[in-house]
Amino acid sequence: MIPVLMVASEAAPLAKVGGLADVVGALSAALRELGHEVAVVMPRYRGIALDGAQRVYGNLDLWFGPACYRVNVYLREERARYLLVDCPELYDRPGIYGPPGRDYEDNHVRYAVLARAAFALARHVFRPRIFHCHDWQASLVPIYLRTILRYEPTFIAARTVLTIHNLGYQGIYPPSALPEMGLNEQAASEAGMEFFGRYNLLKGAISSSDRITVVSPTYAREIQTPELGFGLDDLLRQRSHAITGILNGADYSEWNPETDPYIAAHYSRDDLSGKAACKRDLLDEFGLPAQPERPLIGMVSRLDSQKGFDLLREAAGELIAEDLTLVVLGTGNQEYEGFLRELVAARPDRVGLRIGFDIRLAHKIVAGADIFLMPSRYEPCGLNQLYSLRYGTVPVVRSTGGLEDTVDESTGFKFREYSAWAMMEAVRAALAAWRDRPRWEALMRAGMAKDFSWKISAARYSELFRELAA
Ligand code: ADP
Ligand code: GLC
């Protein structure tokens, strides 16, 4: 079995901003179930408790030029083995990446320390064959291996896999940041990090990793086009033989209407009756009138332009003119928050809004809504549509990335053109279907029967690791 060291900036249940955390938490556990030896290295952010954790590396001093960071590493056993890098001056802060809507200015240093700690662990605590690195925050791992660590015998046999969850975030820094990450211009150039006078960590990792995976087959193709390549499509086309699309799974131990501890009543494909109680409970949660005869649309999302809030804003008037109720849970961009608040003010009896991050309420929305709306501008994979399918909540999605790969006409509604008009047409089709109860139940049941469990996806990663380790 292959020893795999995952390096990531989020993992559920310890720290979560978005789907990356769900994936790292569930994939590491699923790979372990397949027999691999897996450990996840991540920062010990504020709020991650160390009760019962064991210190596995003490007083490690990591030098970057004149700056030194003292680190301790703790092992915490969850479903996977977590190696928590403790460095209070870098990680004990109110936010994971920054204060709301912003990034900490020293994020490159925070994740350089994470990468260097991962190598110290790989030397002395857990020797991996595969470094599995997620997004730009882990990109310094393949970059260091290709440059300053190239001749270190310990790592000669190590292979790197970069998983891209979102090409929209690349980690781009000015030249002054290079020495702060322990690099110089020559190393940066060897790693292929140059990017219009600055240095791009994800670009370096795309150039330096042995293999690249992308979280859905469609997104793997889309990032190789100028429309969705975020300036890296040329490079990605050059590396296209090294790229594989592997769809994310859904963690059905967390997301299952038969056992979910957060929802008002349990239900299943064979007995849908509990869903009505979940809908009542959800309307009540938002202080909306109990009107089961009106279709309820739910959204749970980062408030970000990626997620299609421009369309929602444009279509808002038309949308609430329909006979429906809308509930939204999200946090992020203030501008989107503003228009959503206006929408509530205009129709307090029809629109519910909760700004914040609330896992319990996310489950209630996925269970209690009739329709789940994801009008994303782009969506590398998307997890909420997978959860919704399992809960008999019919998704209305834009045909992009993983949404294209996981929703079809037997389970939901799709639109292609990124326009308010196209979105409204799909919403209206869904509303019409909702009024045809037998048709609607067929849609619900077809979605609930789909299997997007991690078993299948983890097996694909496993195959890839085996190929690389051979
Ligand atoms: P992304 O990673 O781009 O945000 P995904 O669909 O892959 O999108 O995953 C988002 C994850 O974060 C899901 O588990 C979703 O339920 C959760 N989530 C997003 N926003 C919130 C929120 N405001 N409160 C609770 N959970 C949220
Ligand atoms: C990113 C993407 C999302 C994907 C998640 C997990 O945050 O935006 O589409 O599901 O990562 O891979």
Do 197 and 312 sit in the same domain of this protein? Answer: no
Structural domain harbouring 395: 274-450
Q: Looking at the CA of residue 354, tell me the nearest atom of ligand 1.
A: 23
Do 76 and 150 sit in the same domain of this protein? Answer: yes
Provide the residue-wise pLDDT of the chain in tens; the chain has 470 residues: 999 999 999 999 999 999 999 999 999 999 999 999 999 999 999 999 999 999 999 999 999 999 999 999 999 998 889 999 999 999 999 999 998 778 999 999 999 999 999 999 999 999 999 999 999 999 999 999 999 999 999 999 999 999 999 999 999 999 999 999 999 999 999 999 999 999 999 999 999 999 999 999 999 999 999 999 999 999 999 999 999 999 999 999 999 999 999 999 999 999 999 999 999 999 999 999 998 899 999 999 999 999 999 999 999 999 999 999 999 999 999 999 999 999 999 999 999 999 999 999 999 999 999 999 999 999 999 999 999 999 999 999 999 999 999 999 999 999 999 999 999 999 999 999 999 999 999 999 999 999 999 999 999 999 999 999 98
Q: DSSP character for 15? A: B
Instruction: Name residue, tokens 């990335």.
Output: 401
Do 61 and 154 sit in the same domain of this protein? Answer: yes
Q: Which amino acid does the sequence have at 246?
A: I
Q: What is the CA radius of gyration of the chain?
A: 23
Do 285 and 218 sit in the same domain of this protein? Answer: no
215 Cβ inside 6 Å of ligand 2: yes
Task: Flag whether 294 is in a domain.
Answer: yes
From CA 123, how far away is CA 118, in angstroms rounded?
9
What's residue 184's pLDDT? 97
181 Cβ inside 6 Å of ligand 2: no
From CA 455, how far away is CA 304, in angstroms rounded?
31
Q: Looking at the CA of residue 356, tell me the nearest atom of ligand 1.
A: 23
pTM: 0.97
Do 446 and 459 sit in the same domain of this protein? Answer: no
Q: Kindly report the length of the chain.
A: 470
Most ligand 1 atoms within 8 A of CB, residue of 10, 135, 301, 379 to mutate: 301
Do 223 and 324 sit in the same domain of this protein? Answer: no
Q: Which amino acid does the sequence have at 36?
A: H
Task: Flag whether 295 is in a domain.
Answer: yes
Do 391 and 365 sit in the same domain of this protein? Answer: yes
Task: Flag whether 278 is in a domain.
Answer: yes
Task: Flag whether 397 is in a domain.
Answer: yes
From CA 173, how far away is CA 67, in angstroms rounded?
18
Q: Looking at the CA of residue 366, tell me the nearest atom of ligand 1.
A: 16
Quote the number of domains for the chain.
2
Do 218 and 316 sit in the same domain of this protein? Answer: no
Q: How far, in Å, from the CA of 22 to the mean position of ligand 1? A: 9
Task: Flag whether 69 is in a domain.
Answer: yes
Task: Flag whether 337 is in a domain.
Answer: yes
308 Cβ inside 6 Å of ligand 2: no
Most ligand 1 atoms within 8 A of CB, residue of 255, 384, 388, 393 to mutate: 384
Do 15 and 98 sit in the same domain of this protein? Answer: yes
Do 99 and 232 sit in the same domain of this protein? Answer: yes
What's residue 405's pLDDT? 98
19 Cβ inside 6 Å of ligand 2: yes
Do 181 and 77 sit in the same domain of this protein? Answer: yes
How many CB atoms sit inside 10 A of residue 435's CB?
A: 11
Q: Looking at the CA of residue 402, tell me the nearest atom of ligand 2.
A: 9
Residues within 6 Å of ligand 1 by CB: 18-20, 22, 300-302, 329-331, 357-359, 362, 381-384
Task: Flag whether 356 is in a domain.
Answer: yes
Q: How far, in Å, from the CA of 406 to the mean position of ligand 2? A: 14
Nearest ligand atom owner, CA of 166: 2
Q: Looking at the CA of residue 168, tell me the nearest atom of ligand 2.
A: 8
385 Cβ inside 6 Å of ligand 2: no
Q: How far, in Å, from the CA of 254 to the mean position of ligand 1? A: 14
What's residue 125's pLDDT? 96
CATH classification at residue 371: 3.40.50.2000
Nearest ligand atom owner, CA of 248: 2
From CA 183, how far away is CA 64, in angstroms rounded?
9
20 Cβ inside 6 Å of ligand 2: yes
Nearest to 265 by CA among 281, 250, 251, 252: 281
Do 93 and 130 sit in the same domain of this protein? Answer: yes
Nearest to 393 by CA among 312, 296, 303, 311: 296
Task: Flag whether 262 is in a domain.
Answer: no
